[in-house]
Structure 1
Amino acid sequence: MKILNYRLVIFILSIIFGIVFSLPSFMQTDTGKKISLGLDLQGGLHMLLGVQTNEAVTSKIKSIATSIKYFADDEDLLLEDLSIDNDTITFSMLDKDELPKIEKSLEQISGLKISVDGLNVTVSLTDKEIERTKDLSVSQAVETIRNRLDQFGLAEPTVIRQGKTDIVVQLPGIKSQEDEKSARELISKPANLELMAVDEERADRVYTMSEAQAAEYGDLILEDTNDSNRLYLVKEIPILNGEQVIDAKVAFDKSNQPIINFTLNSSGARIFGDFTAKNVGKRLAVVLDGKVYSAPSIRERIGGGSGQISGGFTVQEAGNVAIALRSGALPASVKLLEKRSVGPSLGADSIEASMMALILGFALVVVFMVVYYRRAGVIANIALVTNIFIIVAVMAMFGATLTLPGMAGIVLTVGMAVDANVIITERIRELLKQGMSIPKAVEDGYSNAMRAILDANITTILAAVILYAYGTGPIKGFAVTISIGILASMLTAILGTHGIYDALMPKISKDKNTKKWFGVN
């Protein structure tokens, strides 16, 4: 008697796969891939952030001004009165023969409106470029925040865009006020690093000068990070900004105080080296988020493209700043619009209620199938249990996050999985009532049921794809769970149970007791 067949072998392998890869999630072992619980199941923090997109436009204008200044210095072009006002760059050329060179360099930057009046040049962004910059700033903010949270060590953070300027951030597992504070600071910190030249000619007048007067000279007045009464007068156009930073690490100085060592890319290192070579004896301010952390004097040319930030950090603050610098500066600051905390106890109640629904639903289905379909019901229940193991195993393998809608999806999948077995068994029962032999009834029963099962499952998967494409986090979780459940049920109900019937067919045919096997005379 031939027991093994290809359908049964595939089904057995599916059972082994499901059990092996789902056990870490069920047993919560220290090893192996496990399903992560979402915000609604384990508690955490939900925030709605608004990106100040106008700041991104200002930042881009400032970056363009930095490029103009470096190009002019590198090519020894004579220009003066380089300044920014209302997101417009203005400067004057001293030699009309050098005007074509600066115009050519500006033409290589897309999205600019360039106006030349004699030797005076005005540069601004086109309306289309302004909109593109604003849209890109939100997308960049999403990626930057996600990178920061990944490096911070939070499991499965959700960071998604909502509308034109808003971002939804969900942080499962945030249970203490300290964790919440650290996460919020890390998310909202602009980490805008700038190296700015101190205006040595007017530095002594900084305490008697207004911001408007400083702006007339193309300067800014910035505070010291540790002493708000200490002021610095720096050039408005930075020498370098955070875009050139490729690495940042926490270190300790000779007095064992935390500092941050940063490394620049090749272009940043070249600009840094050239500037320090030409400005020996002058001061260079290290500015982070509009505060001066230090302003050391340049003693010699600084090569190698590395620098240091010191300013009375704690170890945790230094670590967070280093993470922010590594993951990139936010193109614009973010504003907290809404905050919601979900307690662990609420999450535990949700898990308990969902598990109760799953267990009760599963138990009722199992009992009904055995009572009504007898041994065919037992076979269907084996497929049903395997189906749940496979769902959990696949979700664990891909590191999926299980949310409350996802739990609802599993409960729904139990009913959908047994539905295919009901259709198949009913077709077999109909054929047996017509007097067909058991082997023929089983084969034709599967063939006749296939179209109805495929139609129902394909339409449901299409609906799940639409939910995943247009839904938010919890809806996506529901769609993923349903999709995995449908595919698993097709494997277990169509292939698995058919393989069991093929293996048991000699015994069923010999027994000829259709009441015992299929619940019908």
Structure 2
Amino acid sequence: MKIFNYRLIIFILSIIFGVVFSMPSFMQTDTGKKIALGLDLQGGLHMLLGVQTDEAVTSKIKSIASSIKYFAEDEDLLIEELSINENSVSFTVLDGDEIPKIEKMLEKIDGLNIAIDGLNIDVSLTEEEAIRTKDLSVSQAVETIRNRLDQFGLAEPTVIRQGETDIVVQLPGIKSQDEEKSARELISKPANLELMAVDEERADQVYTMSDAQAAEYGDIILEDTNNPNILYLVKEIPILSGDQVIDAKVAFDQSNQPIINFTLNSAGARIFGDFTAKSVGKRLAVVLDGKVYSAPSIRERIGGGSGQISGGFTIAEAGNVAIALRSGALPASVKLLEKRSVGPSLGADSIEASMIALILGFVLVVVFMVVYYRLAGIVANIALITNIFIIVSVMAMFGATLTLPGMAGIVLTVGMAVDANVIITERIRELLKKGMSIPKAIEDGYANAMRAILDANITTLLVAVILYAYGTGPIKGFAVTISIGILASMLTAILGTHGIYEALLPKISKDKNAKKWFGVS
């Protein structure tokens, strides 16, 4: 008698997979991958951030000024009085014949108003470009914060846009003050890296010069990160910005102090190499978020597109800065508008209520299936139990976060999991009532039920995919559990139960008792 078949073997492997990989979540063991609980189930930190979008416009203007400066130096064009005036860049071209070259370069940048008055040129953003830049700054901030938190190691943080300028951040599992402080610093750190030339001609006047006087020379005054009494006079327009950074890693110097090594992209490496070649003997200030971390003298041309930031970091601070640089600088600073800690008491109540619903629903479904479908109901219940184990296992393996809507999805899946078995068993019962033999009724029952099962599950799966694509955190959690439940139920119902019936077919044929097996005379 052939007991094992490929369907049954796959089903048995599914049972083993489900049990083994779901145990860490059910038993809450110290080892193995487990399902992470969402903010609503385990508590954590909820923050509302406001993006200062006007800063994004200023940052873009500064970037345009830097491009103009580099283009003029690269093409040996003579310009002077290059300055940033609120939302515009102005400069003077010494040779009128060179204006067409600069104008052609500026026309390649979208969204600019270019005003030429003799030898004076004024560049500003169009109103539409300013609005687009502000809107884009919020979207970029969402992605940047999400990337930082992912690299920080937090399980499934929720970062979503709210309104025109606000961002909602939810961090499950943040309970201590130290964890909250680290997360807040990582989120709010602009990580705006700039390489700026020190004004060597007037450097000795920095302690007697005001900000207004510095601005007259196109300079700004910055403090040292470790000692605010040490000041640097640097050119306002940076040589390079963090936009050109493609990698940043923590390392240690010769005295075993943490430093950050950064790598520039090809364009940044070329600009960096050209500048250092022309500036041997001068100082280059490494500026992070408006503070000078170091200002080493340039001894030779620096090629390779790499640099170093040192400034008395702790290992944790260096790690956070490196993460922020890798994930990109925030296009504009963010302001904390609201903060509240969510306690786990709601989670405990929610888990308890959901478990009661899950167990009650499970028991009712199991009892109904056994009473109405007899032994076929037991087969369906085996598939149902396997389905739950598979859902938990898959979610644990992918590190999914379980939220309250996700638990509702699991409860709903309990009912959906037996739906395919109900359709199959009813088809078998219909054929048995018509006098068909049990083996033939089983085969034709699965064949006849297949189309209805696929149609129902595929349409539900499509809706779940749409919910995941366009929904936010809690909706995504519901969509994930429903999707996994649908796929698992198709595996256990269509493949698994069919394999069980094939293995038991000799016994079923020998009994010839349709009522015992399928609850029909």
User: Same fold judged by TM-score > 0.5?
Assistant: yes
- Cα deviation 1:175-194 (Å, max 9, x = unaligned): 21101111110111011111
Distance in 1 (alpha carbons) for counterparts of 2:328 and 2:71: 24
Offset at 1:279?
3.5
| 2:397 is the alignment partner of 1:385 | no
Distance in 1 (alpha carbons) for counterparts of 2:67 and 2:319: 30
Alignment match, 1:408: 408
Alignment match, 1:472: 472
Does structure 2 conserve the Cα–Cα contact (< 8 Å) formed by 1:197 and 1:235? yes
Alignment match, 1:55: 55
- Cα deviation 1:389-414 (Å, max 9, x = unaligned): 22223333433222221111111111
Offset at 1:482?
1.0
Alignment match, 1:120: 120
Question: Bigger CA drift: 364-373 or 57-66?
Answer: 364-373
Alignment match, 1:182: 182
Offset at 1:12?
3.2
Alignment match, 1:167: 167
Structure 2 gaps, min length 5: none
Offset at 1:236?
1.2
Distance in 1 (alpha carbons) for counterparts of 2:14 and 2:301: 66
Q: How do residues 241-252 of structure 1 correspond to structure 2 at under 5 angstroms?
A: 241-252=241-252
Which residue type is aligned with residue 237 of structure 1?
I
| 2:343 is the alignment partner of 1:337 | no
Distance in 2 (alpha carbons) for counterparts of 1:10 and 1:316: 48
Alignment match, 1:272: 272
What's the secondary structure of 2:220's corresponding residue? strand
Distance in 1 (alpha carbons) for counterparts of 2:248 and 2:418: 55
Does structure 1 conserve the Cα–Cα contact (< 8 Å) formed by 2:196 and 2:238? yes
| 2:279 is the alignment partner of 1:310 | no
TM-score by length of 2: 0.89
Alignment match, 2:365: 365
What's the secondary structure of 2:77's corresponding residue? coil
Alignment match, 1:132: 132
Alignment match, 1:517: 517
Change over 3 Å in CA distance of 1:298–1:483 after alignment to 2: closer
Does structure 2 conserve the Cα–Cα contact (< 8 Å) formed by 1:148 and 1:324? yes
Which residue type is aligned with residue 330 of structure 2?
L
Does structure 2 conserve the Cα–Cα contact (< 8 Å) formed by 1:5 and 1:502? yes
- Cα deviation 1:368-409 (Å, max 9, x = unaligned): 322333212111111111211222233334332222211111
- Cα deviation 1:460-481 (Å, max 9, x = unaligned): 3333233223211111111121
Distance in 1 (alpha carbons) for counterparts of 2:216 and 2:223: 19
Question: Bigger CA drift: 350-359 or 331-340?
Answer: 350-359
What's the secondary structure of 2:489's corresponding residue? helix
What's the secondary structure of 1:76's corresponding residue? coil
What's the secondary structure of 1:226's corresponding residue? coil
Change over 3 Å in CA distance of 1:354–1:435 after alignment to 2: same
Alignment match, 1:76: 76
What's the secondary structure of 1:83's corresponding residue? strand
Q: How do residues 189-268 of structure 1 correspond to structure 2 at under 5 angstroms?
A: 189-253=189-253, 256-268=256-268
Does structure 1 conserve the Cα–Cα contact (< 8 Å) formed by 2:261 and 2:309? yes
What's the secondary structure of 1:287's corresponding residue? strand
Distance in 1 (alpha carbons) for counterparts of 2:128 and 2:39: 38
Structure 1 gaps, min length 5: none
TM-align CA RMSD? 2.9
What's the secondary structure of 2:418's corresponding residue? helix
Alignment match, 2:107: 107
Which residue type is aligned with residue 182 of structure 1?
S
Offset at 1:123?
1.4
Distance in 2 (alpha carbons) for counterparts of 1:249 and 1:482: 40
Alignment match, 2:292: 292
Report % sequence identity.
88
| 2:313 is the alignment partner of 1:322 | no
Which residue type is aligned with residue 285 of structure 1?
A
Does structure 2 conserve the Cα–Cα contact (< 8 Å) formed by 1:158 and 1:170? yes
Does structure 2 conserve the Cα–Cα contact (< 8 Å) formed by 1:48 and 1:338? yes
Offset at 1:150?
2.7
Distance in 2 (alpha carbons) for counterparts of 1:428 and 1:15: 25
- Cα deviation 1:277-321 (Å, max 9, x = unaligned): 434444432221112233344455444544333333333222211
Offset at 1:119?
0.9
Which residue type is aligned with residue 258 of structure 2?
P
Does structure 2 conserve the Cα–Cα contact (< 8 Å) formed by 1:43 and 1:173? yes
Distance in 1 (alpha carbons) for counterparts of 2:253 and 2:429: 82
Offset at 1:120?
0.9
What's the secondary structure of 2:414's corresponding residue? helix
Which residue type is aligned with residue 492 of structure 1?
T
Does structure 2 conserve the Cα–Cα contact (< 8 Å) formed by 1:175 and 1:344? no
Offset at 1:344?
4.2
Distance in 1 (alpha carbons) for counterparts of 2:122 and 2:52: 25
Does structure 2 conserve the Cα–Cα contact (< 8 Å) formed by 1:250 and 1:259? yes
Which residue type is aligned with residue 493 of structure 1?
A
Alignment match, 1:486: 486
